[in-house]
Amino acid sequence: PGTVELAAVDLGASSGRVMLGRIGSGRLELTELHRFRNGPVRLPDGLYWDVLGLYQDVLVGLGRAVRQAPGLAGAAIDSWAVDYGLVDPDGALVGNPRHYRDARTAAVIDRVHATVDAAELYRRTGLQHLPFNTLYQFAADPAVSVPGRTALLVPDLLGYWLTGRQITEQTNASTTGLLDARTGAWDDELIRRLGFPDDLLAPLLPPGEEIGPLTPEVATDLSLSRPLPLTTVGSHDTASAVLGVPADTPDFGYISCGTWGLVGVELDAPVLTDGSRDANFTNERGVDGTVRYLRNVMGLWLLSESVRTWQRSGTTVDLAELIERAAALPAGGPRIDPDDPVFAPPGDMPERIRRACAARDQPVPDSPEALVRCVLDSLATAFAATLAEAERLSGRAVSVVHLVGGGSQNALLCQLTADTSGRPVVAGPVEATALGNLLVQARTHGALSGDRWALRRELRRAVPLRTYRPAGVPAPR
């Protein structure tokens, strides 16, 4: 196997990027070709994504990939989970995809549970309860029940526009709440009982398969004169991020830390017990049939939405400097429960955090750095508690914690997580998701071979990592 050039499209909830990877055995280079902002767009009736803008940016990035890498062998897309676009039988987009932070599902959750109760949903699908899981969005969307329409998850919608083929990639399908946790197939009986059309969902494809070549129209737009295949990867960004964890032992915990903090362990089989449901742990599908056993922690959304609030009021914010000032504050300050649903919608985050501190009779953070410290102390506490619960519920020991994603650049968060969990925290790579996407593509194209451990070995050789040791625990000799 030689070296291949591949493009990874990775759409996070706060930014999208198109990366070029040059990959072969012993070689892994990553170049950022295009980065663009992403976030909720508020319209009078709710929150949406700017999906056409994102598609346009994907094309800009792919155009650069084609120009910079004349031998480009393929491309693949991953994005955040659960959200979808509906297409008519003639292929036209119906409406604009909603953002998962939109509040409309609150009115339908009880109705869904009256048809199939939460305990049965968990036994069948293994999915943690989150108000935005696709099944609740379907129940809140009358357009879904018009016969003949297909719901495509975001990476699959973009993939359809690029190739003309409608599929559902399997890792992301596991976040719909309609996939059988044991078999990885659509749970047709559940879909019927919930009253959704039989043909609403497109056929499943696992990671590592060809979706198809770019359409001639797209190829013309990209000035491409040869067929370029789009393939599946872990199109759920968290599935690609977990594949992109540079672990060398099964005894690892991970924190995929960006807009969300996805905290858990990698397993071979789902845990579908009542205890697991009570703790709201999810069994999402990973690459190569693995199970991502994890819980969503609110994540750096708390910080990024605070920064946006300050910027809206005209304050310039230097995040790195703020984190340094927060690090100089004494330990033992106020903490909030980051997973309180009050923090989920966009809006004035510092005010919500101050109110939460006051409601718990704790000191109210009175400066931006005190607020940042409160957020990071609270996240580190939630990360450590979630890791401990993942260990307890799954029986998988966690000897080391890998923290990947944008949050791995936050030295204070990494150190606090090491201190509160009592485990070494290995930070990086920042772009674990794009790297996980590229590693699977490289294997599909024959430039790498082997299982996920072989892919992770390539990663460990190539990316700089930093280890944070828990305070008071001496480094091993």
What are phi and psi for residue 453, nearest 5 degrees? -70, -35
Binding mask 99-138 for ligand LRH (x = CB under 6 A): -x--------------------------------------
Q: How far is the CB of 381 from ligand LRH (least distance, A)?
A: 20
The closest alpha carbon to 273, from 265, 264, 283, belongs to 283
Q: How many residues bind ligand ADP (CB under 6 A)?
A: 17
Q: Is 25 in the site for ligand ADP (CB under 6 A)?
A: no
159, 407, 428, 429: which one binds ligand ADP (CB under 6 A): 407
Q: How far is the CB of 299 from ligand ADP (least distance, A)?
A: 8
Amino acid at 354: R
CB distance 159 to 197 below 8 Å: no
Task: Supply the DSSP symbol for 328.
Answer: T
Q: Is 409 in the site for ligand ADP (CB under 6 A)?
A: yes
Window 35-94: residues binding ligand LRH (CB under 6 A): 80-82
Give the relative orientation of helices 301-312 and 368-394 as an angle to the nearest 10 degrees: 160
Beta carbon nearer to ligand LRH, 238 or 381: 238
What does the alpha-carbon distance between residue 319 and residue 324 come to, in Å, rounded to a whole number? 9
CA dihedral over 131, 435, 464, 477, signed as positive or negative: positive
Active-site residue, 237 included:
yes
Window 294-333: residues binding ligand LRH (CB under 6 A): 296
82 binds, among ligand ADP, ligand LRH, none (CB under 5 to 8 A by kind): ligand LRH
81 binds, among ligand ADP, ligand LRH, none (CB under 5 to 8 A by kind): ligand LRH
Q: How far is the CB of 217 from ligand LRH (least distance, A)?
A: 30
Beta carbon nearer to ligand LRH, 344 or 364: 344
Beta carbon nearer to ligand LRH, 137 or 306: 137
Span near ligand ADP by CB under 6 A; candidates 27-35, 58-66, 127-135, 405-413: 405-413
CB distance 297 to 338 below 8 Å: yes
Q: Is 346 in the site for ligand ADP (CB under 6 A)?
A: no
What does the alpha-carbon distance between residue 390 and residue 413 come to, in Å, rounded to a whole number? 20
Determine the 3-state secondary structure of 20 from DSSP.
strand
Q: In what order do the strands lie in the sheet with 27-37?
A: 27-37, 15-24, 4-11, 74-79, 229-231, 210-213
262 binds, among ligand LRH, ligand ADP, none (CB under 5 to 8 A by kind): ligand LRH
What does the alpha-carbon distance between residue 67 and residue 34 come to, in Å, rounded to a whole number? 13
Beta carbon nearer to ligand ADP, 213 or 406: 406
Beta carbon nearer to ligand ADP, 13 or 218: 13
What's the start-to-end Cα distance of the chain, in Å? 39
| Bridge partners of residue 179, in order along the sequence | 186
Q: Is 13 in the site for ligand LRH (CB under 6 A)?
A: yes
Determine the 3-state secondary structure of 179 from DSSP.
strand
If you write DSSP's letter for every residue of 331-372 in order, what string do you get? SS-----TT-GGGSSSS-HHHHHHHHHHHTT-PPP-SHHHHH
Beta carbon nearer to ligand LRH, 304 or 415: 304
Alpha helices in 98-252 (DSSP H): 109-115, 118-125, 134-139, 154-163, 170-173, 188-193, 216-221, 237-243
Beta carbon nearer to ligand ADP, 282 or 410: 410
CB distance 238 to 262 below 8 Å: yes
15 binds, among ligand ADP, ligand LRH, none (CB under 5 to 8 A by kind): ligand ADP
378 binds, among ligand ADP, ligand LRH, none (CB under 5 to 8 A by kind): none
Beta carbon nearer to ligand LRH, 22 or 99: 99
Q: Is 214 in the site for ligand LRH (CB under 6 A)?
A: no
CB distance 271 to 393 below 8 Å: yes
The closest alpha carbon to 282, from 416, 177, 373, 157, belongs to 177
Q: How far is the CB of 108 from ligand LRH (least distance, A)?
A: 18
409 binds, among ligand ADP, ligand LRH, none (CB under 5 to 8 A by kind): ligand ADP
Binding mask 255-284 for ligand ADP (x = CB under 6 A): ---xx-------------------------
What does the alpha-carbon distance between residue 353 and residue 206 come to, in Å, rounded to a whole number? 41
163, 296, 304, 394: which one binds ligand ADP (CB under 6 A): 304
Beta carbon nearer to ligand ADP, 152 or 323: 323
CB distance 58 to 34 below 8 Å: no
Q: Exactly one of 141, 156, 187, 237 is catalytic; which is it?
A: 237
Q: How far is the CB of 22 from ligand LRH (least distance, A)?
A: 26
The closest alpha carbon to 153, from 140, 139, 135, belongs to 135
Q: Is 13 in the site for ligand ADP (CB under 6 A)?
A: yes
**How many residues appear in the chain?**
477
What does the alpha-carbon distance between residue 372 and residue 319 come to, in Å, rounded to a whole number? 10
What does the alpha-carbon distance between residue 58 and residue 64 come to, in Å, rounded to a whole number? 10
Calculate Rg over the CA atoms of the chain. 22
Span near ligand ADP by CB under 6 A; candidates 112-120, 200-208, 283-291, 403-411: 403-411
What is the contact surface with ligand ADP in residues (CB under 6 A)? 12-15, 258-259, 300, 303-304, 319-320, 323, 405-407, 409-410
Residues annotated catalytic, as ranges = 237
